[in-house]
Each structure stands twice: as C-alpha cells, then as structure tokens.
Structure 1
Amino acid sequence: MQIILWIALACVAAIAGWLGWNAWVTRKTAAKVAQAVPPRGKFIQISTGQLHYIDKGDGPPILMIHGLGAQLGNFDTGLADDLARDHRVIAVDRPGMGWSDRPDDADASPRAQAALIVEVIEALGLEKPLIVGHSLGGAIAMCLALDAPEKISGLALLAPLTMMPRETAPPFVGLNLPKPFKRWLISETLAIPASMKNADDVFYYIFGPDTVPREYSIAGGGLLGLRPVSFRNTSRDFLASGRNLKWMIGKYETLAVPVQILFGRDDRILDPADHGEKLADAHPHIKLHLTDGGHMLPLTHIAESAAFIRQADPR
C-alpha cells in the first residue's frame, strides 16, 4: 500500500513538474512576443476597453475585420498599404485579440462583435465604410450588414464563414474548451508549447497550398498568437462562432447592401463550395469570385485581394 502511495505521489510530482516547465516556457515566450510585436497603431476607447487599430491613407473609408485567432497584422503586410493609395484604410484588432481589450465575460458571438464594430465606426466618425471581413470576420461583417446596414456601404468578404460548417477544421479542434478553468489552465501551460511544436501542421491547413509569407510572424502579427490571452479569446471566439449562423442564414435574403465574396478554390479551412458557391446560388444578389489559393488571401494574394476589394466598392 505504501509503495502505491509513493508511486502516486511521484506521478503527481512529475505531472506538476511538467506543467510547471510548460508554464515557464509559456511566460517566457509571451514576454518575447510582446517585445517582438508591440502595438503599431493607435487606441480608442469602446465598451470592451481599449481597441487597437491602424489608420492609413485618404479617401473613401475601408474598415477591415480579421478572422479567428488573428489580428490586424494579417492586413498590414501590403494589403492595407495598397488600398491606402486611394482609400482611408482602418484595420482593427478585434476586442480580445492583438492588443485590444475584452473582458472575460463579454459576449463573443459574431452579432455581439458586429455591435462593437458599430462603436468603432461611430468613434472614428467613419461615413459608410466598405467593410472587409476575412474568415470569422466575414461572419461578423454579415451580422453588421444585417443589423446596421445604414452604417456601411457594402461588404467585400475574403474566405468568409457564412454557413454552418459540416466539420471543424483540424487546427481548431483543440479550441473546443467550454469550461473556463480548463481553458485557463491549458492556455497557461500546454497551449503555447503545443502551438510551437505543431506549427507546420497548422500552417498546412491555414495557409496551404500557398506558402507562409516570411513577413507573417512579425509584420503579419502571427507571433501574437503565442500568448495565453490570445489562446483563451480564440477559444471563446471559436465556441461562439456558430451562435448566430442560423439567424444569419435565415436573413441573407434581406441584405440591403451589396455583398461580394472572394474565395480560394483550395481553401482548407472553409469549403468554398459550402460557404461561397451554395450561398451565391441560393442568393444571386451575393456575388462570388473564385481564385487559385488557400484561406489566407489577405497575406498570400495581396494584389488580387486589393483588386477584388476595389471593384467591390459601390461608391
């Protein structure tokens, strides 16, 4: 009996030591990330706290909303600069991502996040911006168009989440953590070391068949995902991402602003047949464009994304 007790204590000590080591790696990594990718823009106050954004160029406004687990750097490796030649371009860190605040109890559903984008539009005094939404940002943009069409001129969506997914893409399976304590524990110990170890596998799905741009880690902000708070809020966004989809799907016929979509034919995260072709077939007022490439069009197909956004602008 005493031997069993000692074995159990040894196992507990080993697990505690393993978790402690991972927690140390996590803290060290997060500190390095904060130094490598500091805030690059400005801050405004909205209901969830400080919101970080960039603001470039002059002309008709474009407001850009990034996807799951991302931040404004996904637009700031060339796409924002291209569009800023003839537009005023604003890209935000969605509340809870990048350098933007979000309380732990804030509603993370697409519709709630769309209401926060309305706050941004009003705080910056934007006159009917064209909304660019990528991936989950596309679902948020759709909710914005349905709830507040008077605030915007139209939608130009890049690989958007528009329908109920048939299955979860492999990189997102580990985000299914509905219990807050478990989510916190994993974020502070295992998530970041595992993310670094499995980066190539994750990139296969998120970027493939396109290559990962050299600028992704720093200029593209990719390293900012290696922080516990980013993991927790990405998990919360993932869990809430489907909350309004049934409502959205039932409202597409009532869209009162122009909507255009660009999808990569080889997208490994969201099936362009489901989220693009079937949607456009059912709702001819939504215009679909297809191109070669994967899911991360704002980073991997900059010139084509910029051309698509310009032609989608109804102004």
Structure 2
Amino acid sequence: MAKAAILIIISLAAICVAAGLGLAFWTARGVADIERRYPPAGSFAEIGGVRIHYVDQPATGTRLGPALPPVIFVHGASSNLSDATSVFAGRLEGKRRLVFLDRPGHGWSARGVENGPEPARQAAIVVGLMDRLGIDRAVVVGHSWGGAVVAALGTLYPDRAAGLVFVSPATHPWPGGVAWYYSLAAMPVIGPAFAATLPYPVMHDALGTAAATSFAPEAMPEAYPETARLALLLRPDEFVANARDVDGLNAAVIALAPRYAEITAPTVVITGDADSVVRPDIHSAGLIRDIEGAELVELAGVGHMPHQTHPEVVIQAIDRVTRRYLAAHPELWQGVPGEM
C-alpha cells in the first residue's frame, strides 16, 4: 500500500509538472505573438537605470503651442501608454507638446529595481524623463493607479508641476484588500511561476469582457482592447509588475497621503459617480479635501474610464490648470489666453 501511495504521488506530481510545462509553453508562444502584434511605438531612454519607453509628440500646429507647458500622461494599472495615445494623441496633435510613457514594468518599459514605494519611485522616473527631454514644468495627467504617481510628483517635486489632472484616481487608503490574483502574482517565486502559466491561457480570450467592467455602466468602445494594446498585460513579467503595483498601493498611499496638503499646483479631479473600481468618496473626495483650491468634476452615470468616454472633459481640465498656472506666472505668457 505504501508503495502504491508513493507511486500515486509521483504520478500526480509528474502530471502537474507536465501540465505546468505545457501551460508555460502555451504562454511563451502567445507572448511572442503579442509582441509581434504590438511592437514599441516610441523611443527609449535610460532614466535612473531603468529603460523607459515613451512617445514625445511636439507642438507644431499653433503659434502658442510651444509656449505652453507640455502635458505628460501617466496610465493606470493593467494598462500602458496606448490607453492615452489612442484618445489624446490625435485630438491634441500639434496643439501641445505631449509625452506618453509606459510606467516601469508596463508596455515596453523595463521594471528596474523596486527599492521603495512605487508611486514615489515612478514619480522620480517621470521627473527624470522630463530632465532628459528638457521639460522644466508640465501638466501631468494620471488615470487610476497613475493618479498616485501624479500625487507623488506634485508632493515631492512641486517645482516641476505646472498643473495636475487626476482621472478616476486611486490616491488614498481604502478598507479591504485587492483581488486574490494580484496578491498571488506579487509573491516572490510563486508569483512569477503563476504568471508564466495561467494568466495567458485563462484570460487571452476574455480581455474585452474584463475591460468592459471598468467602463460600466457605460459601454466600452468595441475597438478598445485593440487600440489600448491590452494583451501586453498577459506577458508574465508585466503581469507580475502590475500585480506588485496594485498589491502595494494601499501601503504606499497610507505613507504619502498625509502630505498631499503640500501640493500647490493647480489641480482638477475628474471622477464618475458610478465608478465601481475605485471609490470616489474616498479618493477623489480625499484629494479635494487635501489640496487647497482643487476643483472637482463629477460625471453622472460614468464609470472608471471617463478619459475614454468623455475625453473632452479631460482636455478642458488640462486647459483650465494651464490657464491657472500661466495666470500665476505672467512672465511666461506669450499670447492672449483666449487664443489657447
């Protein structure tokens, strides 16, 4: 009986190993296909020892464009720079200098050494990219998790922010935890093994369905999974990086949120009152409470993706914080506000 039990255990272990290897092979083939379909769209720069992928779109279409502060877009979790370029690159083309970047570990950016709270580290990388591109101050727009990066930048680097626009931000401590798969994938050893075997086989045909929950109660644009290049998330390294971002966010904002009152840049907070991903009553309301003079734009019946479904609201917010910044610095103004 003992020998039979041992044989059964060995057989089950062999089956598990074979299944794991099969799933890993399936994932590797799928990842290769994803990377062929969605190659890098921009340029690369070494920032603080991290290879960062970004798109730098110049202001060429108006006389005033080059005189206005550039706009930098910081994407949220489970995303990459295409989430913003798919909406704003065309709408703002030539009007302002626009910079879109893949956050560390996302899209085509390397992760780098995780040596502290990620929002602060990633804010430093944004500032480092600004230095590399010769940008003194910028209007910084952050969606969801990217809102924590924007808040960190406004707090820790106040002289680099011409204005801040938060879209469905995740910036404050919240009760409860995160989904189990984030915590699992964030674990050492087990997390990478999980990411290398299961997410691609389970999720590659369901990305659109999963993304649609973020848009609810509004409809997701049919082309969104393709234009936002969502499949990049299923690559194991990016899946782990994303999980670590999400799993570690609460601890990071617990430490930083008490300092948000130090933010002095003109600020607009945009949120949908039907957001089921992050709670507006905690995060957006918290920013309005903590940042003096911050303006709240609450959209009725809108979920977590107002930058996709109502991009004009974000563009108007960018213009408003720009006007407030230039009004406070008349020496920088080279035209008439009405010409913006």
> One fold, TM greater than 0.5?
yes
Please give the per-residue CA displacement for 1:122-167, whole angstroms capped at 9, x wherever unaligned. 0111131100011111111111111111112010111111211223
Are 2:167 and 1:166 equivalent residues in the alignment? no
1:284: Cα distance to partner? 5.0
Report what 1:4 is aligned to. Answer: 5
Report what 2:250 is aligned to. Answer: 242
Report what 1:175 is aligned to. Answer: 182
Are 2:19 and 1:18 equivalent residues in the alignment? yes
Q: Percent identity, aligned pairs only?
A: 25
1:77: Cα distance to partner? 1.2
What residue ranges of structure 1 are gaps of 5+ in the alignment?
none
Report what 1:53 is aligned to. Answer: 54
Report what 1:36 is aligned to. Answer: 37
1:173: Cα distance to partner? 3.0
Say which SS state the counterpart of residue 71 (structure 2) adopts. strand
What code does the residue aligned with 2:310 have? H
Please give the per-residue CA displacement for 1:29-83, whole angstroms capped at 9, x wherever unaligned. 1011101111111111212332111122312200111111211001011223212
Are 2:294 and 1:293 equivalent residues in the alignment? no
TM-score by length of 2: 0.85
Are 2:274 and 1:252 equivalent residues in the alignment? no
CA contact (8 A) 1:128 1:153 kept: yes
Say which SS state the counterpart of residue 288 (structure 1) adopts. strand
Matches within 5 A, 1:220-231: 220-231=228-239
2:118 to 69, 91, 109: 109
Report what 1:138 is aligned to. Answer: 147
Give the Cα–Cα distance (whole angstroms) in 1 for the partners of residues 209 and 222 of structure 2. 17
Report what 1:97 is aligned to. Answer: 106
1:273: Cα distance to partner? 1.4
1:238: Cα distance to partner? 1.7
Give the root-mean-square deviation of aligned CA atoms.
Answer: 2.0
Say which SS state the counterpart of residue 164 (structure 2) adopts. strand
2:89 to 71, 80, 84: 80
Report what 2:283 is aligned to. Answer: 275
Higher gyration radius (CA): 2
Give the Cα–Cα distance (whole angstroms) in 2 for the partners of residues 199 and 130 of structure 1. 31
CA contact (8 A) 2:171 2:283 kept: yes
Please give the per-residue CA displacement for 1:152-205, whole angstroms capped at 9, x wherever unaligned. 201011111121122345xx4311134310111011111222333654663343
Higher relative contact order (CA 8 A, sep 6+): 1
CA contact (8 A) 2:208 2:225 kept: no
CA change 1:283–1:55 in 2 (3 A) is closer
CA contact (8 A) 1:48 1:101 kept: no
Report what 1:211 is aligned to. Answer: 219
TM-score by length of 1: 0.92
CA change 1:154–1:84 in 2 (3 A) is same
Report what 1:120 is aligned to. Answer: 129
What code does the residue aligned with 2:315 have? A
Which segment is superposed worse, 253-262 or 142-151?
A: 253-262
What code does the residue aligned with 1:143 have? A
What code does the residue aligned with 1:288 have? L
CA contact (8 A) 2:141 2:164 kept: yes
What code does the residue aligned with 2:273 have? R
CA contact (8 A) 1:110 1:240 kept: no
What code does the residue aligned with 1:246 have? I
Which segment is superposed worse, 197-206 or 301-310?
A: 197-206
1:207: Cα distance to partner? 2.4
Which segment is superposed worse, 211-220 or 223-232?
A: 211-220
Which segment is superposed worse, 58-67 or 296-305?
A: 296-305
Q: Runs of 4+ in structure 1 displaced over 3 angstroms? A: 104-108, 197-201, 281-284
Give the Cα–Cα distance (whole angstroms) in 1 for the partners of residues 208 and 82 of structure 2. 20
Which segment is superposed worse, 173-182 or 112-121?
A: 173-182
What code does the residue aligned with 1:111 have? A
Give the Cα–Cα distance (whole angstroms) in 1 for the partners of residues 46 and 286 of structure 2. 39
Give the Cα–Cα distance (whole angstroms) in 2 for the partners of residues 40 and 200 of structure 1. 22
CA contact (8 A) 2:44 2:53 kept: yes
Give the Cα–Cα distance (whole angstroms) in 1 for the partners of residues 58 and 313 of structure 2. 19
CA contact (8 A) 1:56 1:90 kept: yes
Give the Cα–Cα distance (whole angstroms) in 2 for the partners of residues 215 and 312 of structure 1. 31
